[in-house]
Amino acid sequence: MSTKVKTQSQDDVFKKLVAHCKEYGFIYPSSEVYDGLSAVYDYGPYGVLLKNNLKAYWWKSMVQLHENIVGLDCAIFMHPKTWKASGHVDAFNDPLVDNKDSKKRYRADAMIEDHLKKIEDKIKKEVEKAAKRFGASFDEAQFRATNPRVVEYQNQHDTIDKRLGEAMRTSNMVELKAIIEDLEIADETGSRNWTDVRQFNLMFHTQLGNIAGEEGKLYLRPETAQGIFVNFLNVQKSTRQKIPFGIAQIGKAFRNEIVARQFIFRMREFEQMEMQFFIRPGTQQEWFAKWKQARMNWHLALGAPQEKLRFKDHDHLAHYADAAVDIQYEFPFGFKELEGIHSRTDFDLGAHAKLSGKKLSYFDPELNESYTPFVVETSVGCDRMFLATLSRAFVEETVPDAQGEDSTRIVLKINPAIAPIKCAVLPLLKNKEELTKAALDIFNHLKFSVDCQYDDKDAIGRRYRRQDAIGTPFCITVDFETLENQTVTIRDRDTLKQERIHIKDIERIVLEKTDMRLLFAKI
Ligand code: GAP
């Protein structure tokens, strides 16, 4: 079979992906009948299946495959002192700036980063133009180092980047405003009339019903990690784990993001998959390196190509970390953070012990001493995993139709182990009861072991396209030969090849080809 992938701009692909997610029941804007709620989304019928499969892949590889990692599911609300101890009340801020004319709000650092991105795009354009001009003899490194225009752009870029990094590191709001003014950054209405830059706390809060005032002020957790920290000793005692050991949790987190854009990339309500690994003080470098590689392998095993993933060290360390790295993914809008790996020292356990007055130390029987464990954390956004998975899977291509003519299809080439529907059962014709009955019998047997779907609407070609569009890896077609010899065809979503197999082999074949163990074998 010959397939041709359509070439189009990443912006166009992204717009199509967002529209596809809505049309095919993956993601809807929240409360859409009221025109939606900014940066809040609902997962549709196929979205929730895919998201659950991603969570299962993470949970099984973290908890089931590690005898020294256990799970937890904490409440979203926590005692308000939790967030004082963790530093979130005082330091979980983003720099906010208002435009006095348009009254619109912006994140000061994000505006400067956008400016940097424009310079990067100019460099990229120059490089692409030169690559075309020089052909095979093009030496990109030499061009970047010597072309006067590129060198000038690069210098501008590096100077701004350095100023931004320093201002963020030292929380220098005056300098951030000075950078915005020096670069003459305007908002989307063209106005450069900015307020001073000030810190904006990202935590949402609400009030307990029975306590008025500050005492009853509750926060919606901005990360799931704190539930793990405050339960550290409970879990250690009830599971009798010895250090090193980990606690894993999947759950909702909330952040009042100033700039919320790029679909589900930056949301105000989202889900995290976090694991805190408790270790002996002094061993953090070794464990940080181990988890950094283990997490990269996890992404690669799911099928992300190496060139779409990269490590990016943090220039600006969070208040709790002594080392931090992001795993970035190349989304349609560029390389962005997908997962964070942080060496959190004993900051959190120490701070909770201090503020609560409770002991949160561990007695190490091998060393015969007590200490506050250090922590290496892995934290991946479930929604960002979803977006990375779908943007990689989304392909528009030309393939031959039943008559051998070129036709365009949109297909989600999702790894079969996490595809929302593993297999569709389709009678060749709708109006032949013998066919629909045989197909329903197969479906009613398969549904106990895999997520499968029965469909008899429209012509068979359109049904195949519908299954392609939701990423179903296998379609089972029941035709007249089925009635004679108990065989069906099984169609492969990616190769479009159809094979005849016996009905009794369907379940085994589908289970084998969609088994999550195929992913675990690669980690
Ligand atoms: N406990 C550490 C922590 O929360 P983080 O880097 O702020 O670290 C971890 O967040 C991950 O959570 C990110 O790598 C990202 O995947 C996801 N995440 C953070 N903010 C998000 C948002 N507003 N929308 C969607 N995902 C988000």
Tell me if 276 sits within 8 A of 377, measured CB to CB: yes
Q: Is 29 in the pocket of ligand 1 (CB under 6 A)?
A: no
Cβ atoms < 10 Å from Cβ of 8 = 10
The response to whether residue 221 sits with its C-beta less than 6 Å from ligand 1 reads: no
What residues have CB less than 8 Å from 408, skipping those under 6 apart?
6, 396, 397, 398, 399
Answer whether 266 contacts ligand 1 (Cβ < 6 A).
yes
Using CA atoms, how far apart are residues 225 and 245, in angstroms rounded to an integer?
15
- Centre of ligand 1 to C-alpha 499, Å, is 44
Mean pLDDT of 407-428: 97
- Note the pLDDT tens digit of each residue in 220-271: 999 999 999 999 999 999 999 999 999 999 999 999 999 877 999 999 999 9
Mean pLDDT of all residues in 362-367 = 96
Phi and psi angles of residue 502, each rounded to the nearest 5 degrees, phi first? -80, 145
Separation of alpha carbons 509 and 153, rounded Å: 56
pLDDT recorded at residue 416: 98
- Reference 476, options 508, 450, 510, 449; nearest CA is 510
pLDDT for 407 beyond 80: yes
Q: What are phi and psi of 458, to 5 degrees?
A: 70, 175
What is the whole-number distance in angstroms between the Cα of residue 358 and the centre of ligand 1? 29
The pLDDT value given to residue 272: 98
Ligand 1 atom with minimal separation from the 223 CA: 4
pLDDT (mean) for 470-492: 98
The predicted pLDDT at position 480 comes to 97
**In sequence order, which residues have a C-beta less than 8 Å from that of residue 40 and are 6 or more positions away?**
29, 30, 31, 267, 268, 269
d(CA 254, ligand 1 centre) in Å: 10
The one-character DSSP state at 77 is B
Say if residue 214's pLDDT is above 60: yes
The ligand 1 atom nearest the CA atom of 257: 23
Cα 343 to averaged position of ligand 1 atoms, centre (Å): 15
User: Which pLDDT score is estimated for 11?
Assistant: 82
Are 203 and 256 a contacting pair, CB within 8 Å? yes
| 267 within ligand 1 shell (Cβ under 6 A) | yes
Q: What is the mean pLDDT of residues 50-58?
A: 98
Q: Is 340 in the pocket of ligand 1 (CB under 6 A)?
A: yes
pLDDT, tens digit, 9 for 90 and up, residues 313-350: 987 777 778 899 999 999 998 899 999 999 999 999 99
Residue 383 pLDDT > 60, yes or no? yes
Q: Are 229 and 79 in contact (CB under 8 A)?
A: no
What is the DSSP code (8-state) at residue 7?
A: P
- CA 380 / ligand 1 centre spacing (Å): 7
pLDDT at residue 70 above 80? yes
pLDDT band at 5 (very low <50, low <70, confident <90, very high): low
- What is the position in ligand 1's atom list of the atom closest to the CA of 222? 4
Q: Which residues contact 117 (CB under 8 A, 6 or more apart)?
A: 334
pLDDT at 3: 63
Mutate to test the pocket of ligand 1, among 93, 271, 384 (most ligand atoms within 8 A of CB): 384
Q: Is 338 in the pocket of ligand 1 (CB under 6 A)?
A: yes
- Cα(202)–Cα(65) distance, rounded to whole angstroms? 35
User: Which sign, positive or negative, has the C-alpha torsion 454, 458, 462, 466?
Assistant: negative
Output the DSSP codes for 212-243.
-SGGGEEEB-S-SHHHHHHTHHHHHHHHT--S
pLDDT band at 166 (very low <50, low <70, confident <90, very high): very high
Query: What per-residue confidence (pLDDT) applies to 2?
Result: 59
Query: Would you say residue 304 has pLDDT above 60?
Result: yes
pLDDT for position 400: 85
CB distance 194 to 181 below 8 Å? yes
The pLDDT of 391-411, averaged and rounded, is 90
Give the residue from 475, 463, 461, 329 showing the smallest Cα distance to 416. 475
The percent of residues in the chain predicted with pLDDT above 70, rounded, is 99
**Sign, Cα dihedral of 60, 513, 488, 404:** positive
Domains and CATH numbers, the chain: 94-200 (no CATH), 415-520 (3.40.50.800)
Is residue 488 packed enough to be buried (19+ CB in 10 Å), middle (13-18) or exposed (0-12)?
Answer: buried
Span 443-463, average pLDDT: 96
- Ligand 1, atom 6: closest residue by C-alpha: 340
What atom of ligand 1 comes closest to residue 255's alpha carbon? 23
Q: Which residues contact 270 (CB under 8 A, 6 or more apart)?
A: 252, 253, 254, 255, 264, 381, 382, 383
What b-and-e string marks burial along 502-519, b requiring 16 or more CB atoms within 10 Å of the CB?
ebeebbebbeebbebeeb
Residue 443 confidence class, pLDDT cut points 50, 70, 90: very high
What is the average pLDDT value for the chain, to the nearest integer? Answer: 95
Ligand 1 contact via 250 beta carbon (within 6 Å): no
